[in-house]
Structure formats: structure tokens, C-alpha cells
């Protein structure tokens, strides 16, 4: 027997039995009778607690005024959003639904994205996506067995131990700050690797490489002289052609730290 790979997009005449929707339907027929009894009990409990949920009661009032599109009430008085039952803000109910969706043999500890879309087909509640992400994050089984799709990390290369002050410095930016009256919205941090002495220079994120070079010379070079090496992250400020030419003219080597590892910047 020989096995030949046939890509899914080329398999236009796919066997209907392999379709997920049919498989789910077949699974429903073989589930034990106790499953349906448990679901009926859950629906009844949801219906009773809906009456005490403030947000759901507000939706009911809007529904009476015709201002809650896509919401409806069935003949038993259960509130629905389209074809999804509205889950009240009750910890016991939410934990039961999350547990049944994630921990049972039918779900096999799926990831947060798949679990969210599975729940979204049948249930509606405030903050569902966040609740699912938090539940999956603390699942010990999922954290142990989930597949790792990243490439193996390389070996760390330690930086050389220094002997003189301000021989090698690191640079980084603190961004996302409120704008000051002088127009600054970020802080440029320059740290000596040996003594850990730091300078905090107010700057603006729109500063060009030429402007940063001017500040660098007036604030750092005038106090400590030129360092032999400057370690910085891979920000555009340090990779611009002008910045590199400036360092070449000053006989300073610009070395790049490991990407997405801010610890290297000091």
C-alpha cells in the first residue's frame, strides 16, 4: 500500500462523511440520554438567573420598547440573542459552561480561539472572550500539551564585562507618555553598562535621527566623552542611514541587541 498526499483545496469531491458539521451531527445522536437532561437543567438554571441579572433586565426593557435588535424572548421567558442563549453573570453557571466546553473528552482542552468560537455558536454573555482567555490560561493540562510552533531559540551571547566607565552604553525609549507643555511625549534613556548610571532625556517620537544625534552629543558626549560601543534595540531611530553615517564619522560602532529582548538595553 502506498500513501499519496492530496491537498485539501484540490479535493473538490470530498467525502461528505469527513465534513465537520456532519460529524458533529452524528456525535449528537450517540450522546447518552443523561447529556440532554443535564442541558435541560442548565437551561432552566439560566432562565431563573436571567431574572436577577441587571444588564439582562435592561435589555428586556429595551426589548419591550423595540430598541433591542436581535434579542428575543421565547414562550418560556428565556432571553436569547439571535440563536444564542443569554448567560447571566453568575460564576457557577459560567464556570460550568467553560468547564464543559474545555475540560470534557469531547473538547480535549482546545485553545482559547477555538473554544471562544465554539461557545459563540450557542451562548452570549458580556466579556465572553476575556473569560475564555483567562480560563485557558490557567488550565494546567492545556499549558503542558499545547503545540509549540516557534523555532528553537538560539544560544544567548553574553556581553563583554567592562573595565572602564562609559566605555559602553545602552539606549532605549519610553514611549506612550502624555504630552508635556513643551511638546515632549517620550523619554530617551541612556545607561552606562558598568556603573548603571542613567540619563533621562525628554524627546518627541517625531524626532529625526539628526535631532537625536544632536541631543546625544550635547547631553552625553559633553559629560562623559565618546563611548567605544553603543548597544541599542532595532528601532528605526538607530537603523537610519544618517545615524549609521554619524557613528562611522565619530569612529563609534553601533551594535544591535537581540530583537524583542529589552533586557539587553539595560
pLDDT of residue 103: 83
pLDDT of residue 203: 93
Cα 207 from chain centroid (whole Å): 29
What's the rounded Cα separation, in Å, for the pair 223 and 165? 12
pLDDT per position as a tens digit, 189-234: 999 999 999 999 999 988 887 788 888 888 988 899 878 887 877 5
Instruction: With a cut of 50, say whether residue 24 has pLDDT above it.
Output: no
Domains and CATH numbers, the chain: 17-145 (no CATH), 168-265 (3.30.420.10)
pLDDT per position as a tens digit, 96-133: 889 888 887 767 778 888 889 988 888 999 899 999 99
| Residue closest to 251 by CA, chosen among 221, 215, 207, 219 | 221
Instruction: With a cut of 50, say whether residue 77 has pLDDT above it.
Output: yes
First to last CA, the chain: 60
What's the rounded Cα separation, in Å, for the pair 228 and 251? 8
Amino acid at each position: 500500500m502506498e500513501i499519496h498526499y492530496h491537498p485539501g483545496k484540490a479535493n473538490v469531491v470530498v467525502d461528505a462523511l469527513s465534513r465537520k458539521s456532519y460529524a458533529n451531527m452524528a456525535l449528537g445522536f450517540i450522546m447518552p440520554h443523561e447529556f440532554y437532561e443535564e442541558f435541560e437543567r442548565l437551561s432552566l438554571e439560566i432562565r431563573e438567573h436571567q431574572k436577577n441579572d441587571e444588564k439582562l433586565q435592561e435589555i428586556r426593557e429595551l426589548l419591550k420598547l423595540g430598541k433591542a435588535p436581535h434579542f428575543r424572548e421565547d414562550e418560556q421567558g428565556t432571553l436569547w440573542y439571535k440563536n444564542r442563549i443569554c448567560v447571566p453573570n453568575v460564576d457557577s453557571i459560567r464556570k460550568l459552561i467553560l468547564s464543559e466546553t474545555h475540560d470534557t473528552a469531547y473538547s480535549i482542552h482546545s485553545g482559547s480561539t477555538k473554544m471562544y468560537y465554539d461557545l459563540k455558536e450557542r451562548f452570549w454573555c458580556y466579556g465572553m472572550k476575556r473569560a475564555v482567555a483567562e480560563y485557558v490560561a490557567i488550565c494546567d493540562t492545556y499549558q503542558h500539551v499545547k503545540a509549540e510552533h516557534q523555532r528553537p531559540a538560539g544560544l544567548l551571547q553574553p556581553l563583554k564585562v567592562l573595565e572602564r566607565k562609559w566605555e559602553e552604553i545602552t539606549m532605549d525609549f519610553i514611549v506612550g507618555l502624555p504630552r508635556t507643555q513643551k511638546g515632549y511625549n517620550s523619554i530617551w534613556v541612556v545607561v552606562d553598562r558598568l556603573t548603571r548610571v542613567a540619563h533621562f532625556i525628554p524627546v518627541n517620537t517625531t524626532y529625526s535621527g539628526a535631532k537625536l544625534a544632536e541631543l546625544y552629543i550635547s547631553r552625553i558626549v559633553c559629560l562623559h566623552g565618546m563611548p567605544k560601543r553603543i548597544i541599542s534595540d532595532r528601532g528605526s531611530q538607530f537603523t537610519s542611514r544618517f545615524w549609521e553615517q554619524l557613528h562611522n564619522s565619530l569612529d563609534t560602532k553601533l551594535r544591535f541587541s537581540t530583537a524583542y529582548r529589552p533586557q539587553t538595553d539595560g
